[in-house]
Structure 1
Amino acid sequence: MLPRVPSVILPLLQDYVQLISSHIPEVVYGVYLQGSIALGGFIPGRSDIDFITVVSGPLTSDEINRIDLLHEHLKSKHDYYSVMEGQYTTLDHLRKTAPLEREQFPKYFYGENRGLTKGQIDDTALWILKKHGLTLLGPEVSDLDIHVGWPDLLKAMKYNLHTYWTEKADNYELFLQDNWVDDTVLTLGRIAYTLEHQSVVTKDQGGRYLMQTLPPEWHALIYEAMRIRQGMSENEYFPSIAERAAQTQSFIRYMVKVCTEQYHLDK
């Protein structure tokens, strides 16, 4: 197991590799990590365990059942399983040559089975896998021939800004929660960094980038997001969570506007 994998989640991942190798040995091709672990930004209690398991082709009902059984075993044994999320797919999906009508690949989100998907991997995850991915089982990431480039990542950033976060900005109640303040501010920092440097960094690095590039009026909110992510002491930057929520909404709209104008992003 690679030294870049945090020691606190090694037992879970070792068990997963052993179980997947024994439950579907005839079809499993490789197991890979992307997300915060691959980027070197995993924080226990805050980060997800983002996996991509590659199989040799469409799965039978029996193989899907065996996969679900092994996940249930992991759930009963490991506390960190609750933040394990990812999906099963094929090399054809990594190469973007797969027929899209196939819907036989399990997907897991925060440890729960989310049913079957077409096996497609979003372009941000593909980019992180290609550039930074960790191999737990099977061929090295560099041998997977992953098809993703800057135009794909740019399209994903535009969707995040103009659709996902623009829609979230209207939901005031979300931003009364600490985790939404943290995730919103630092993810938008990652998006801004990506647009400027054509690469993906951790949420913490996204926060530091915002501190370097945004005017002081936003610094309190950025500090607050970083405080939450690091699990530091109670809020000292806002008199109320209501004010913090309102500023988070304003921050989303500001970042969408600035990024759209600065990088000439058509909607």
Structure 2
Amino acid sequence: METEALLARFVGGLTALDPVAVWAHGSLAGGDYQEGRSDLDLIAVLPGPVTPAVVWKVAVLHARLRPLPLATGLHCTYLTPGTADDVTGRHLTWAHEQLFKRPVTPVTRRELHAFGRVLHGRPPAELLPPVADRELAAYVVRDQRDYYRPALDNAALWTRDVWVDLGMITFARATVTAREGRLISKGEALDLLPGLGAPAEVVEDIRRRRYDHPAPPTEEWTARRARLTRDYLGPAIDALTASYD
């Protein structure tokens, strides 16, 4: 399996940095991973400060992985034992073939506690503080209100597959998390969306593209799908945020 070969190569390459732990989260750990389609979402905990020398070594490691199959989808955020409990800080991250900084969100932290896969070293429970249900719910609702809801005003975004997929799936997942305090997979989200009032033809379009190999959509369907998605998500997000407030 190419995924396992890439993970082994990555963890082996980290040996020079003496990692305390390496974990997988997201679909790779949660059981809904699709090789060649899903990203590989990882967290590495390094033993000491993330100095410029460490940043250079991380960049070199990821550059060396680039020729390998699936490497473009390997994303990793780097923590240290001293920064692991910082829920608002921005941490060194390799994703989309570049280095930048971003937080480790409450969703990621809950995933790691609930079903994180240990690839090396110590388990998440020994290094990460737990995430309270209220903190998790507040985060997913805020994400819907402050990120996805304003994005609906940009009609061009919603002609793209990735925005339709993430918008619909993330809404369903946020709804369940806010109401019940639990996380669900992307596959479970697709199963739940029709019951949440989502347009069935859009849900089936996402499902086919995620699990099958359909022909590229026509321009007419792309425009219709964008309109259906925006018409649904606007009121749905408003109702979610109003019920949580």
Task: Give the structure-2-normalised TM-score.
Answer: 0.90
1:11 partner letter? A
- Tell me, yes or no, if the aligned pair for 2:138 and 2:178 is still in contact at 8 Å: no
Letter in 2 for 1:89: L
Structure 2 match to 1:160:
143
Q: Residue 98 of structure 2 aligns with which residue? A: 113
Q: Taking every aligned residue pair, what percent have the same amino acid on both sides?
A: 22
Query: Is the 2:23–2:119 contact (alpha carbons within 8 Å) kept by the matching residues of 1?
Result: yes
Runs of 5+ consecutive residues of structure 1 not aligned to the other structure: 1-6
- List gaps (5 residues or longer) in structure 2: none
Q: 1:33 aligns with which of 17, 24, 37?
A: 24
Shift of 1:43: 1.1
1:122 maps to amino acid: T
> Would you say 1:60 and 2:60 are equivalent positions?
no
* SS of structure 1 residue aligned to 2:98: strand
After TM superposition, give the deviation of residue 178 of structure 1 in Å.
2.2
Structure-2 separation of matches of 1:15 and 1:45: 17
- Residue 237 of structure 1: CA displacement? 11
Distance 1:62 1:233, change over 3 A: closer
CA contact (8 A) 1:96 1:147 kept: no
- Distance verdict in 2 for CA 1:91–1:255, change over 3 Å: farther
- Counterpart CA distance in 1 for 2:87 and 2:116 is 21
Q: Secondary structure at the match of 2:131?
A: coil
Report the number of matched residues.
Answer: 245
Measure, in 2, the Cα distance between the counterparts of 1:176 and 1:199: 30
Q: Which amino acid aligns with 2:94?
A: Y
Residue aligning to 1:243: 224
In 2: Cα distance, 1:228 partner to 1:97 partner: 34
1:145: Cα distance to partner?
Answer: 4.1
- Structure 2: distance between partners of 1:258 and 1:225: 23
Give the whole-Å Cα distance in 1 for the aligned partners of 2:151 and 2:121. 39
Counterpart contact for 1:182–1:226, Cα < 8 Å? no
Deviation at 1:141, TM superposition (A): 2.6
Contact 1:186–1:203 (8 Å) recurs in 2: yes
Q: Does 1:15 align with 2:15?
A: no
By how many angstroms is 1:29 displaced?
0.8
RMSD: 2.4
Does residue 1:81 correspond to 2:71, yes or no? yes
Which residue among 157, 167, 172 is the counterpart of 1:184?
167
